Amino acid sequence: MALKEIKILPDKILREKSVPVEKVNNEIRKLMDDMLQTMYAAPGIGLAAIQIGIPKRVVVMDLSKDKEKKDPFYFVNPEIVWKSENLVSYEEGCLSIPNQFAEIDRPEKCHVKFLDYFGKQQLIKADGLFSTCIQHEIDHLNGILFIDYLSKLKKNMIIKKLSKQKKELERIIV
């Protein structure tokens, strides 16, 4: 397993649309292992492959609070096949948009079709934080970030802050 570097806004790769995986083979499983390790180290509750610079439709998630009891989920080519009309609001964050949080409305429940770690077709009925998180991750696969749901003003404020942070970091390092 290997720790990967998480891409941060304004890195343009985050706006790429990821391509479907043809076969869940050892290469894809290695990618999922690396992603899970990177997500745990961050720490985060979800990670899309594009966040480590790989434009493939692969997502990992683990919502377990307890670090001792891991509960990893692996999604290859996830697709929302149904979503509730009812929306709920959650305070979202993103490892690619560090230290920024905002309340985002999304469908409360959804059904997701995907291939698991072994390439087996699965269907999961998601609600609560699981539903919010899988929708956030599938958005990543389509180049969408949670800030896209905010007003232009709020979105620009966050982008400005991150650009400033990046410049300051470069000033310290150089």
Binding site for ligand GNR (CB under 6 A): 44-48, 51, 90, 92-96, 132-133, 136-137, 140
Catalytic residue selected from 27, 68, 137, 170: 137
Could you tell me the smallest distance in angstroms from the CB atom of residue 137 to ligand GNR?
A: 5
Least spacing, CB of residue 91 vs ligand GNR, in Å: 7
Q: Of 82 and 101, which CB lies nearer to ligand GNR in the complex structure? A: 101
The option from Ni ion, ligand GNR, none interacting with 112 (CB < 5 to 8 A, set by class) reads none
CB 49 within 8 Å of CB 31: yes
What's the distance, CA 111 to chain centroid? 17
Distance (Å, whole) CA 58 – CA 76: 5
Please tell me the count of residues contacting Ni ion according to CB under 5 A.
1
Whole-number minimum distance, CB 39 to ligand GNR, in Å?
7
| Centroid of chain to Cα 55 | 12
The answer to the question of residue 9 lying near Ni ion (CB under 5 A) is no
Report DSSP state, residue 56.
B
Half-sphere exposure at residue 118, Cβ-oriented, CA atoms within 13 angstroms = 2
Q: Could you tell me which of 5, 8, 54, 35 has the C-alpha nearest to residue 117?
A: 35
Decide if 103 is catalytic: no
Residues annotated as part of the active site: 137
Interface residues toward Ni ion, by CB under 5 A: 94
